[in-house]
Each structure stands twice: as C-alpha cells, then as structure tokens.
Structure 1
C-alpha cells in the first residue's frame, strides 16, 4: 500500500507546477489504441517517447488482464465509453511473443518483431529530430534482445546509451537466493542518420570497439555490485549500442546479426569474471567448457543452487551446450553436462533438481571420473578427494600422474574454490592444500 501511495504522489507532483501556472489540466491526454498507429499526433511534434515495452515472452499481459477487465467493464464502462466494448481484452494487437497464439516459437518471435518495429517506426514519426526515446527492458534471453534490437534498427534508431538500474528488491520472493536478473536495462535511443553511412567491417572496426566498450562498462558497473547474470545482460546493452552505431555490420560478404555482438560481449564478461575470481591466475583460454562454467557458477552462488535458465543463457552466450548425462561420458569443447542429484555415477560437474542446478561437491563426483579426469575441474575435485584420503603426498602423486604437478591454472582454480565456496571447512581445507603444495 505504501508503495502504491508513493507512486501516486510522485505522479501528482509532476502536475503541481502546471496547476501553479494556471495551465489547463486537459494538457494531459490519455488515449487507448495500438501503438503502431498514434492517430491524432502530428509528425515531429513530440519531445520524448518514454516506453516500458512488453518483455518478449515473459508475461502474457492480455490474458492476465482479462480477469480484471470483466470487473472493470461492469464498473467503469459508463465513465470511459468505447474502452470496454469488447468481450475481453484485445489479443491480436498485443506485442508479446506467444507461441501458443502464433503457432510456434519462430512465429512468435517474428510477430513480436513485426509489432515492435511498427511501434518504433511510429514513435520515430512523431518524435522531433532532436528528441529522445527511452526504453526499459528486462530479459535474460538472447532471442529477446536480438528481436528487440532488430526492430529498433530496422525502424531507424541508434542506441545512444545503456545503463542497468535496480528494479527488483533483494528480498523479493522470486529473486532471493537466485541468480535471476535483478536489474532492468535502461536504453536511450536517437533517430539514426544513415544517409552517408556505409557498411562497417566486423573484424577490423566494430569488434575492437565493442570489446573496449564492454570492458569500460564492467568497470563502471563495479559500484552497482551486479551479480554475474546482470553483468552479462548489461554488457549486451553496451555491445548493442556499438553495433547499432555502426549498422549495417559485415564480416566479409556476410551480414553480422546482433547475436554476434552479444556473444562477443559474453566472451569479454567471462574473461573478466574468471580473471576476477582467480585474482588473475586463470584466463578463459586456460579452461575447458566445463571448468569455465563451474568457475562462473561458483561466482554466482557458491555451492548453492542457481536457476537452470541462467546456466542455459551463459552456455548459449559462450557457445556450448548444456546436456543431461547420467553415467560416464566423453567431454568436448562444446558440451557441459549435468546429472540427476540421485544418479549413482555422477561424472558430470553439475547436479539438477527441478529447475535448479548446483555444483557437485568433490566427494559427490564419480570415483572413476576423478581417477581418469578429463577436465581441469575433474582434476581439482580429484586433488581434494586424494588429499583427504592420503594427505599432501597422495595429492602430489595424483597431480604428477596426470602431468599437472606445477600447473598454474589448476592452482588458480584451487584459489577460486577457496575464495568462493561458502563453507568455512572447505575454504580452510583448500587454503591448506594450496599452502602445502
């Protein structure tokens, strides 16, 4: 109740100055209709367009609204003639991705892009040449961001600024102890002037600028204390700003899609994250896919659970697949496996329960996988288990057997484990192993 009252008070304060000046209250106009056709608004007459668009497939607004609509129709239809003529809310013109309504995920993506492009084009028509459009967007899906960016660019906009702003409370019931995106990305756009713009080269022009922009934004975001998921999404915004400024972007004869810019941003974020967690002792290039995701998972929530969707998004951004593998398997550079928590042979590094993942502790991993490690993370788990069984001599022999006696990256992983695992006994054990090695 206090939040609702605060919101209404803030809105009322925006109008106080107009009342003091004796200006007519009818300067505030409220209309109902599709945003793809802003009838009655003259071209180039608007100073700013402020938009909080539908977040792709996150919420099916009209279907949820029907519950309220039927009651509002009974009580408000006489006050707002024409607003409640339909039996239920309009579904046809709703700009959301709804696979059930549009026949498939591909159809829903196309429909959302079509409607958003129409909305952005109409917004550009009514905006003054020096005007600005701002958006708020919260979504962890690369598909959602790609679709929104395509719609913006095709409608004639450049992204001029991006900044994460806190939009979810840390004690929100669907955010607490989760790695979900708790920040909304605030996007500012300007009408694009592409009359003299020629295609930009990805390899020699755009990629280096994009990398610099992402590294700069990560330094800026330090004060915001974003979780790794939010850092990833916020970096997409900066990458897409560079991309839109240079659009169209080409790599040879092929056009570069927005997802390429987002993948490059994800690579830079992963590099920075691994380097931060290890104190510069480990780089992304030192790690295989499973070890890379294990390190980032530690940084997200220690040994606690995190959302499967977060891991799925990171896997897509870093170009590998998440697959369930119960039992032993052979690893590859494009695969990260997870297993059921109750599986008797837990070769995979990740455990799944419902829609949550967590890292298996070393003692939970399959003995065969640790005896014949395939990844650096396997070696770390094997090292810890052997140290418990036979002390530092057994641990050294284990590393020597696998040719990793003086491996700097493995020592770096051990430090990450010590710094990020959230159990004091495990932390002390890791520090002691590192000291004795």
Structure 2
C-alpha cells in the first residue's frame, strides 16, 4: 500500500500540523463511511483504537458519528506489556478500546438535558464496573469516554432548547467532569472530595491518571479544566511545570523548600512537610501543621494516603509519603496534646490565674 494513503497525521508529509490533522480526520471519516456503505442493515463492525491524546479521541468520535455508524458497546482490553509502558517515561495506554458499531437507524434529535441525564446515569454504572475490574489511570478515562459514545452516538444530532447543535467536544467536556468527580471520590474512598481545592484535586487526579509521567499539554489542560483549574495561569508556578509541549507535575523531591515557605495550598503544605520529614525536622513539621490547622485534619492525611496509593513502590515521592504517614498517629497525638495544653493555658490567663 502506498505511504501517501496511510491514515497518519504527519506534518512533514503534509506540510504543517494543521494540514496533517485535516488529512487524518478526512481519511478516517472516509474509512468509516466505507465500512458503513458495505455493511448490511444492522451489520456489525468492530473498531479497535488506542490513542493517549484526548484530541485523537475527539477526531475518532466526530468521524464515527459523521459516518453513520452507531457505537453500541465498548470495552478496554489490555494490549501493552507493563514493562514497556514503564520504559517509555511518558503517558501511555495499557489498553485498546474495542468499539462494536452497527449500521442502524439513529434517532433524529436528542435534547441536551435529556442526553446529559442519560449519560450521567449510564456512566455511573459503567464506572463502577470499570473500577471493580481494576481499570485505572488514563485507560479508565478513555473507557468512560467510550461508554459515553454509546449514548450520544444514538442521535443524529444533540441540541439544546434554543436549537443550537452540541458538538462532540462539548459533550466530552461534560463526560470529563462526571468522571473527574467520581474518580476523586473513589480514590479518596468516598471521603473528603468536597473539601479539596481545585489544585489539590488536580494533583491527586493527575497522579492517579498519569503517575509521574510527562503528558501532552492539551490532555493536562482538559484534565485541569474538569477540576476548575486554568492551566495557563498555573504553569511554571508551584507544582505544574511546562516542558515544551509537555506538562510535568512536580513531586516534593523536585521542589525547593524556599518556594514553599509561605505555602497555603494543601498540596504545597504536604510537599513542605515531606521535605521537612526527609531531613528529620520533626518540630518544624509540627509547627507547620499547627499553624495551618492541618495537623488534626483527616482530609490532609487522606490526601497523602491517596497519593501514595497511586504511585509505584519505587517512586521517591511514595517513599516520602509512606515514611511520613508511618508516624502520623504519634504526630497527631502530640499535636492534640499541645493543643490541649495551649487551651488550658489560655483559659487560665483569661481567668487571671
């Protein structure tokens, strides 16, 4: 087969990034349209797709929907060796998503509010199933997106009550928000998700989804957006570092103590505490936790535990977290004891004793 007919996005071959993307989208759509043409009514086609970039999935979804094929089921199936994924050093899927599509009549119109409710109810069940099956990280998100396609793929168009047609990208943003909220709650064992700031939620979610890998900017931007964080305002500040077209989330071992001196954000305070633990400054740890009010906060320790659970055993960040957490009960007892003594002292001063 001539290389010119390959369905690839190659800026060198097509002149620039924009033309390469356009070629890829057009050819993918033509391929699906041809599958649709040759299928008998209600015939089945299985499409296997693996792409770690969110934009790649948007292209697939748009091409599928425009072809007339209706996705009726999707499953993640492991196709990559774990050792190979670890060796890459950047984000990768361990699974391919298998879509079962049919040549069938689609409903003319889905009303946005109804479709959203349908997606929300369906994804909630699907996410529980994926979680129980041990699907995690980027595979979990992509599998959830696949599930959503089963719902809005039933309609020729989805419109709001003003008659505006809703594009796949907008529906996917809604899906990401559902998955983000559900995932953070599951990672924290349905504990304190509502108490967390957007930046702390983003940190937890990134670690669970991508680990310590460098990730393409657009994927992190969309993940951040689903937690309420504007990536453009935050990169190269705090724990978010931009490296060319990639984003890296810094762990405590990658940060300088000076930049954490006046930390207010929970995740920054945790990093500050871990750096102090690393050099054995126990009294300073107690002072930081007392001053910030986090010393007796269950949310603080649950966040630390949740992050630890997302990381592999060889991770330096995990070792710092586990070391700190191993002494948390004694630390909390000491902070509690100091607080009681302080309260008694203040009460005595107030009584003039």
Scaled by the length of structure 1, the TM-score of the pair is: 0.64
How well do the aligned residues superpose, as a CA RMSD in angstroms? 3.4
**Match among 221, 227, 238 for residue 147 of structure 2:** 238
Deviations 1:182-218 (A, max 9, x none): 2111111112424xx343222x211122122222222
Secondary structure class of the residue paired with 2:327 = helix
Name the CA distance, whole Å, in 1 between partners of 2:205 and 2:186.
Answer: 10
Asked if the contact 1:306/1:356 (under 8 Å) is kept, the reply is no
State the shift of 1:178 in Å: 5.6
What residue number does 2:213 align with?
Answer: 306
Name the CA distance, whole Å, in 1 between partners of 2:109 and 2:296.
Answer: 49
Higher-Rg member (1/2):
1
What residue number does 2:328 align with?
Answer: 433
Name the CA distance, whole Å, in 1 between partners of 2:172 and 2:195.
Answer: 19
| More helix per residue | 2
Residue 111 of structure 2 corresponds to residue 205 of structure 1? no
Aligned length: 324
**Match among 211, 221, 236 for residue 315 of structure 1:** 221
State the shift of 1:138 in Å: 0.7
Residue 71 of structure 2 corresponds to residue 181 of structure 1? no
Name the CA distance, whole Å, in 1 between partners of 2:110 and 2:210.
Answer: 40
Name the CA distance, whole Å, in 1 between partners of 2:254 and 2:223.
Answer: 28
What residue number does 2:28 align with?
Answer: 116
Asked if the contact 1:288/1:376 (under 8 Å) is kept, the reply is no
Name the CA distance, whole Å, in 1 between partners of 2:244 and 2:29.
Answer: 37
What residue number does 2:49 align with?
Answer: 137
Scaled by the length of structure 2, the TM-score of the pair is: 0.77
Secondary structure class of the residue paired with 2:153 = helix
Which ranges in structure 2 are unaligned for 5 or more consecutive residues?
Answer: 333-353
What residue number does 2:157 align with?
Answer: 248
State the shift of 1:369 in Å: 3.3
Deviations 1:110-147 (A, max 9, x none): 32232232232232222211211111111122222222
Asked if the contact 1:274/1:282 (under 8 Å) is kept, the reply is no
Secondary structure class of the residue paired with 1:401 = helix
**Match among 273, 276, 279 for residue 189 of structure 2:** 279
Query: Alpha carbons of 1:359 and 1:125: their partners in 2 closer, same or farther (altered >3 Å)?
Result: closer
Higher RCO, 1 or 2 (CA under 8 Å, sep at least 6)?
2
